[in-house]
Amino acid sequence: MCDTHPLQNLGTLTKVSNLRGREGRDMEMAKWVIERGLTAYEATVSKMYGKFSYGDKFTVADVVLAAQHYNGVAKYEVDMAPFPCVTKIMEAVYAEPCMRDSHPKLFKK
């Protein structure tokens, strides 16, 4: 996910749009970056995941994954069908009280 996060930030996406002669944030770039990151994550965790990314303990990896998952699904229309392990992990992650109680949808105006 380290290659994904900085590339799908608003400032970076706006700059890419400007360089491509467009306005606003570059949705195509964001979607591509997130899909690329989720593809690598899926391949990695498919060999070791349990309830969470690395077994049955909730770790910072799950928190980082949650941010990318949320952005991919809510903002950039990433199809999660190719990522069954990530989808299963996210069900457990979003059930954690700290994640459930701080989910971005709770703070939308």
Q: What is the distance, to the nearest Å, from the Cα of residue 21 to the centroid of all Cα atoms in its chain?
A: 27
Mean pLDDT, to the nearest integer, of 72-85?
A: 93
* Contact present, 76 and 30 (Cβ < 8 Å): yes
Name the 3-class secondary structure at 55.
strand
Q: Among 71, 62, 53, 57, which Cα is nearest to 94's?
A: 62
Contact (CB, 8 A) for 23 and 67: no
pTM over 0.85: no
Q: What is the Cα–Cα distance from 40 to 45, expressed in whole angstroms?
A: 9
pLDDT one-digit tens code per residue, 23-60: 767 678 888 889 999 999 999 999 999 999 999 999 99
Radius of gyration of the chain (CA): 15
